[in-house]
A and B are shown apart, each in its own frame.
Chain A
């Protein structure tokens, strides 16, 4: 069983000690960092602090030194975002801080994505993502997309203000088994239900798993609308996506 003292980076040790309270999450995060090399832990610490320029530089240097793109992504970036996600869920940090960390992750991913794309690794599954009709908010959706891509999904981003027809068309065109809808406004949330109804009307509901999320969305509302799952935040979205397509967590 890994211990906190097994992690070299002092900042990471302090973050885990201060913010990761649930035993299962602490065990998982400890396990991911214990196996991470010192440079990967440094990248993770910089990401958690939102230092995008440092992450950019360290990622580049790690890749040049021969570290694999997958290792940098998993041990440096994704592991760090897991801590960020939990801090956000528990209200230790809020959206500005998450955006800052996401900006740092993007800086690292900018070096990693071209390498992964060229490597021909098969994605876990295709996911269609979009904000519902009438809603122009996309921060939460974009965070989910970033985390889904990092976790190995191929994401087709339909952007904001997405009509039920566009969701339908995208699922059919890309033969995607998974669809994610986001809404930030209580006034636009009902459009999630309308979209699900459109899939029923088109006789496509059985072909796609539908997950929903967004600040005002709850599990009860997701159930009421007939969604297959609800994710409270980007970390939960990835876990839900894996569960819905039957992938290993």
Chain B
């Protein structure tokens, strides 16, 4: 199985951390994985996105032009990547910040109130982990437990104080999906 994702949001939403944790979890499970960031002419406060591939086979190019899934943490990301998802693919929308719905009929829309759930947990900045939990449940790209175990490897020292709430956020997001 191969899952190709693009994760996007504005700078500061933790999109890169979301992608890194997914990729790290895949590595821990012995899978092939690549993480590729948008790089170069980016500005603080601008948009950020990364491409992650998780596969049982060797991965050719880490660049994802036609993703199986797109994660849109803000409205600009939905506009930018909606058209690229493969037919039958999934678009995850952070419904706390995005009112708009997917306009295509050939893809599935999954709405996750990531910021609201994170705030309930007392850490509004953990919205990225809520969303990743949902992505993991829906795509089955990796096991939830791998992501939980990998958190301490990818969080910065400064963020280690929020280790537990990030774990909870992953679980809540995971359980949000039926």
The answer to whether A and B assemble together is no
Q: A residues engaging B (CB < 8 A)? A: none
